[in-house]
Each structure stands twice: as structure tokens, then as C-alpha cells.
Copies of this chain bind each other. A is one copy, B any other.
Amino acid sequence: MKPTEREIAEGILFTDYYQLTMAQVYYRMGLHEKTVQFDHFFRGYPDYGIHKAGYCISAGLEWLLDWMHNAHFMADDIDYLRAQTTRTGSRVFDDDFLKWLSANGTFDGLTIYAIPEGRVVHPNVPLTVVIGPMIPAQLLETSLLNHLNYQTLIATKAARMERSGRGQVLIDFGLRRGQDKGANAAVRAALIGGADFTSNVGMSRVLGYPPKGTHAHSMVQAFMALGMGELGAFRAYADVYPDDCLLLVDTIDSLNSGIPNAITVFEELRRKGYEPVGIRLDSGDLAYLSIQAAKMLDEAGFPDTIIVLSNNLDEMVIWQIITQIREEAPRWDMDAEHIIKRLSYGVGTRLVTSWGEPALGGVYKLVAVCDNNEWIPAIKISESTDKTPNPGHKLAWRIYDKRGKATADLLSLEDEDPHTMDRISLHHHTDYAKCRALDRAEISEIEPLLVEIMHDGKLVYDLPTIEQMRARREADVERLDPGVRRLINPHIYHVSLTEKLWKVKRDLVATLSESSQ
């Protein structure tokens, strides 16, 4: 795509056509400036197949705000809309609407609440609440979902990998397997979620992280083709990077060629006064090879060199590698924990694609319309009750038990404050039979989750740094029950409605079901 085309495709027209056709209907009906509320939320945790997330990590908000800041209807966007025709050749968009859109099609009137980036989030709790005039609030849908769905999906995947790897260094290698420039968004989300570095140079520069990497097989192949062999390639690399010497050892045969050659070069380096960094293994039985590599490196006097693993890693593969090292290392007279502590993980395809579940089903639903200064709940009655959104203007709270662990997220009406309740009824958001109650004495903390980000189009929030988001994520994950953090079959975290909100929803569904008979 040419740069001029990119500007078009990533500006205000980065949206679905129906947002614009609906806008004209609202305009024609005089509804375009009615204040409405949309909730953005996801309906279920990513389900990767045999494993499933028990929590997600919110991410993407700052990039959405950047997009909003720069997306405006330019004269040529309006010209393009003017040129759209119906089946019979008449114009789709009339001049009065286009004139209005040109002057008012901005996000300046919107107020946005959101759960900040890096926080643990759960299904059916609004991650983002958008309040404002009908047309801009509706127009924001596509871009909001695009920006928040993907980064939340990837931050979640990275958080799983980070925990599976027990905090060892995790490096994103996913650029070549992402969706075009979308791979850059993965880097940011991965860092928020738990990756420590990336091989992506541009994003490292933008986000202020040192880029990471070693060398490719091609370098060894080139030296081999030119008669200098793997050892020649390693020597050349060590000569240029004596302080940062990390060698990829599997081009020919890790145990019989790569590691012995690496050790030769490491010894040469040490004689020159340098300490080598380590090796990378990119194929084969990574657990077995890690043990053997550690043994060979130990015996050669390099017990502190690291071992970077890569090749289709994800949280399950990392878990398997660690389990296998624990089982096998003693048979080789090796200390499993010492091996595990020297591992780093390079994660590419399965991070950037969220392997097993490549999209987060985030949705953006109209929940209330303000008419004559009164909020009227809006609802969609679909086949399944679990798809019926929670209506109206509401607040979201997180409740911590006496241990300090998060025990439930609670949605309430706007005029409710659980701090004032002696006993909190936690109603299941779809199953009317399910209810649990908590006494105030069982609760250590009640925390509001939604923060005002934008007020009437003005940013009223200090955007946190990536490091602050990482700290937030770490603290939130720490406060989850271990069962919720489990990789497979996690405990279902409770997302509940207060008694009052639950009654509003029940009555609304009943009324609408009757009226649609």
C-alpha cells in the first residue's frame, strides 16, 4: 500500500460502512445528537482448545486514543462518500448529512470510561464505556473493537506464557508471522502482558526497550558455503560481539557440532577477557537438548551462560519443557532448577496469533439512550440469555476477600455503592437461579474498576507508561486465586450483578419478550 493510501485506509474511514449508513438514518430522524451509551466487553475468555484463559489483560487503549486524535473527515473522505451510489445510481449520502458529518464527525463530544491497560479483566464487565452523541459514539465502534480486541488478546497470551515460564526472560519474535503492520501492536501488548523484550527493532525504538536477537541459520549456512564452516561463523560473530556472544547452535547438529563449536569460541573469548552470553536452540527436543547443553556448558566451565529456546513455543510447550527437565535432569546428574533458571524463551507465531484462539470476541453494545434527561436502558434479546447485555448505565467494582484475593467483579446501578452495603448479593449475570452473598466482614477491599479517560473529548487521564502497566498487571495477577491462574480448566471467576441491577435486567427482558410476542 502506498503511503497516501495508508493515510486513507487508517484514518476516519478505518470503519465499517454500516456505521456511516446508520449515521445518516440518525441524522435524518433527528437522533444524531441524542446522548447514548455503548459498553465494550467480551463474552468469554479465550479458549485455546485443551486449555483456556481464566482471566484477560486489558490493553490497547492508548493506541485507540491516538487513532481518535488523528481521525477526522477530510475533504476527500467526504468527496468519496458523496460519490457512493445506490443500485439505481442515485446518491447514497445527501449533502446536508455530509455537511453535518464534515463539521461534526469528530470524537470531541465523547466521554469515555475504561479499565486501565495492564489490569486483569473478566467477561461481561465493560472494559470501555462510551457516552456521547449518537453518531460519533456509533462511528467509534469498529476502530475501538479493532484496537482493543487484539491487544487484549495478545496481552492475555503473553501473561500466560510469562507465568508458564516462571518469570524467565520472554522475548517476542513474532514480526514475521503477524498480520502486516498489525504485528507492531502485538509487541506493545506482549510487553504489557509479560514479554520482556522484542526482536522488532522499530517497536523497540518506539517503546524504549533494547531490541534483542542473535543470528539466523543463514549466517552459518553462508559461512559453510564459503568453506569457513559453523566454527568460522561463530568466530566471526564472537569477534564482532565479544560482549554479547549468543550463538544459534542447531544449523547442523546441536549436540555434535553446534554446542562443541560454541564452547570452542567461548573458550577463545574468555582467553581474550570476555564472558560469553549463551546459546540458542531452535529445533528438536528442547527439554532434552537443554539438559545436554547445560551439561556440556557446565563441564566446559560455562555454568552461567544462558540457553534461549525458540520454535513454536507457547504456554503449554514451555510448561512441558520445564516438566520434562524436572523429570529427566536428575538422571543426568543435573540440577533441574539450575537449568530452568538459565532458560529464556523466544516466542513468535503462537504469541502474535494467540494460537488456538486468534480473536477476542469483544463487542460494543448500545446499553442506554438518554431521552429528556432520562437514561432508558437498551437491550438486544437474542436466542441465548448469556448474550443479552447488561442494560443501562452502571458501575463496575472488584471485591477482594479477607486474603486480599479478588473474589468477584460486581456490576451495579449508577446510584449504588457496595461500600455502603452490609451484605452484598452477587447475582449471576445470566443464570437467575445462581446467587451468592458476601458479608461486609468477609471483604477486605472494594475497588471501582472504571476510570474516566476522556471527558467531552478531552483527555482527563494520565496515560501510564508500559512499565507502569506491567507493574499493574503483575499486582493484579498476584491477587487472583491460584485456581483462576491455572493454565487448564481454570476456576470460573465470579462476575455478578447487584440485586437492583439484576431486577432491572429481569424486568426489561420480561417486558421486551412480551411485547415481541
Contacts and interface: CB of A to CB of B under 8 A. Distances in A.
Interface string A337-373: 0000000000001001111001111100110110100
Contact of A9 (B203, B244, B517): B203
Size class of the A contact interface (CB-based, 8 Å): 35 or more
A10 interface: yes
A141 B217 CA distance: 12
A251 B365 CA distance: 12
Nearest to A178: B179
A180 B147 contact: yes
A251 B512 CA distance: 11
A61 to B, nearest CB: 12
A178 B217 contact: no
Given A8-B202, A241-B21, A225 B377 contact: yes
A330 interface: no
B87 A16 contact: no
Interface string A215-259: 111111110111000000000110111011000001111001100
A175 B360 CA distance: 13
Given A8-B206, A84-B211, A283-B382, A1 B150 contact: no
Contact of A214 (B21, B176, B184, B225): B21
A163 interface: no
A240 B28 contact: yes
Nearest to A365: B218
Interface string A60-88: 00010010001000000000100010111
Contacts of A237: 25
A2 to B, nearest CB: 6
A178 B200 contact: no
Contacts of A25: 215, 219, 236-237, 240
Contacts of A358: 353-355, 358
Interface in A131-169: 134, 138, 141-142, 145-147, 149-151
Contacts of A206: 1, 5, 8-9
A236 B20 CA distance: 15
B13 A201 contact: yes
A113 interface: no
A256 to B, nearest CB: 7
Contact of A175 (B15, B185, B250): B15
Contacts of A146: 175-178, 180, 183
10 closest residue pairs by CB, A with B: A182-B182, A179-B182, A18-B213, A17-B213, A13-B202, A180-B185, A9-B202, A86-B243, A145-B176, A179-B179
16 contacts: A16-B175, A16-B176, A16-B213, A17-B211, A28-B239, A34-B226, A80-B205, A84-B210, A86-B244, A176-B362, A177-B359, A179-B179, A182-B183, A221-B378, A251-B380, A257-B516
